[in-house]
Structure 1
Amino acid sequence: MKNDLAEVRKQALMINLWKLSIDTTNSNNLTPLHLAVIHNCDHSIVTFLLDRGADLGCTDSEGNNAMHLAVFHNAKTILRILLQRATDCNFSLNTFNYEGFTPLLLATIEDKLDMVKTFLDFGVDANVRDQKSGRTPLFHALENNNFDMVQHLLCCGADKKIKNFSGTSAHDAVFELEGISPDIKNMIIGKELFTVNSTRAEKRKKGGSTGG
């Protein structure tokens, strides 16, 4: 919490001598790695704890692991370190907290586009559905009326036809939600219309050539 690498090294040595886990928690069920993320400590401390075996799977009392916490506390540099380590050790990037959200879903809900981009850069599933309502990141971005988020998710393969637990997709929601900007509607529906019109135009072109 004091962002003091030298002291962290010293305490890690003591923990090792006492044969305690590097993931020993405090009264709030937070590990040293959790605290490093919450307090946005220097990346050297995060790396040190991970090198000493800090478990990415440890969760707080609400089921949040270090990546969830990085989103909550806007720890962008730390998030990239965590994602790289998770990738290296094949740790799932789509873990759910007790509310049913993955770190990517949380980043989308909180309109943190930079973090969403980071998750997608690391290959996180753009179509993961939350366990609370079945909404995808695209659905949440649509509800937030966030043009840039919707655009980026679509460019990264977000599927607008995936339905939530109530049977409604992001594509359907465009017609049901109030206040959605025309630009977002065009992205969700316009591409589809453009594809249809382009196909028809191509058929007409071929038909005309054949007739000539």
Structure 2
Amino acid sequence: MLLTYEADLNRCEENGWSPLLAASNFNHKALVEYLCDHSDALVNIFNKEGETPLYIACENDNVDLVKILLKHGAAINNGDENGFTPFHFSCSECNSNMVELFIQENATVYLADRSGRTPLYIACQSRSKDVVEILMEHGGEVNKAAQIDSDEGWTPLHVSSASGSTDIAELLLQKKQKCSR
């Protein structure tokens, strides 16, 4: 029906919300799929808050929408004005299922936001041992991430130590020792 009446499927309202952003926000899986399949829907469009449909699907913890958007070319490493990506968001929310999905879809595991915070740093900040373990399991580049300092000069080890996350600090130290042998 939308196409019959030649509706502009990419028209944004004053805050930058397109129909695809709105459908993603309200978890309308069938409509997101329809918009992606039947139009040149701008899958990587940003609203004024810097959110993409993929970012919104992550905020809503909607794995099905994330998969649909990725299938249609959503840019997994696009961040907001602070460089904060959907992958960073998933790490901050301790969402191990979403983190694993993004890793399978080739998210850049060591990509820092504009403050220098990597996914590993953010997972340590969020005290998410599960996410820290997942990130550390995925190759040597994660070890490199532990060496990238934030603007404050803190590493993931600093953050986990300051928050009293002994188990995470031990994980980081064990990994560092294995790599230095």
Q: Which TM class, normalised by the smaller chain length?
A: 0.7 to 0.9
- Relative contact order (C-alpha < 8 Å, sep 6+): which is higher? 2
- Give the drift of 1:147: 0.6
Matches within 5 A, 1:73-92: 73-86=60-73, 92=75
* One of 128, 135, 140 as aligned partner of 1:153: 135
Task: Kindly indicate whether the alpha-carbon contact (under 8 Å) linking 2:127 and 2:160 is maintained by their aligned counterparts in 1.
Answer: no
For 1:138, the equivalent position in structure 2 comes to 120
The count of aligned residue pairs is 176
For 1:206, the equivalent position in structure 2 comes to none
**Residue 184 (str. 1) matches residue 168 (str. 2):** yes
* One of 6, 13, 16 as aligned partner of 2:4: 13
Q: Give me the identity figure in percent.
A: 24
Q: Matched residues in 2 for 1:143 and 1:189: separation?
A: 16
Matches within 5 A, 1:20-31: 20=8, 22-31=9-18
TM (norm. structure 2) is 0.87
The RMSD of aligned alpha carbons is 1.9
Q: Which runs of 5+ in 1 are unaligned?
A: 1-9, 200-212
Task: Kindly indicate whether the alpha-carbon contact (under 8 Å) linking 1:25 and 1:32 is maintained by their aligned counterparts in 2.
Answer: yes
Task: Kindly indicate whether the alpha-carbon contact (under 8 Å) linking 2:157 and 2:172 is maintained by their aligned counterparts in 1.
Answer: yes
Structure 1 counterpart of 2:169, one-letter code: K
- Give the drift of 1:27: 4.5
**Residue 162 (str. 1) matches residue 148 (str. 2):** yes
4+ residue stretches of structure 1 with deviation over 6 A? none
- Give the drift of 1:57: 2.0
Other structure's SS at 1:124 match? coil
**Residue 171 (str. 1) matches residue 162 (str. 2):** no
* One of 46, 50, 54 as aligned partner of 2:32: 46
Q: Matched residues in 2 for 1:192 and 1:28: separation?
A: 46
> Measured at CA, do residues 170 and 47 of structure 1 come closer, stay the same or move farther in structure 2, by a change above 3 Å?
same
Structure 1 counterpart of 2:148, one-letter code: I
- Give the drift of 1:41: 1.1
Q: Matched residues in 1 for 2:3 and 2:61: separation?
A: 26
> Measured at CA, do residues 38 and 174 of structure 1 come closer, stay the same or move farther in structure 2, by a change above 3 Å?
closer
- Give the drift of 1:194: 4.6
Q: Matched residues in 2 for 1:178 and 1:75: separation?
A: 29
For 1:68, the equivalent position in structure 2 comes to 55
- Give the drift of 1:169: 2.2
TM (norm. structure 1) is 0.75
**Residue 34 (str. 1) matches residue 21 (str. 2):** yes
- Give the drift of 1:15: 2.6
For 1:209, the equivalent position in structure 2 comes to none
Other structure's SS at 1:111 match? coil
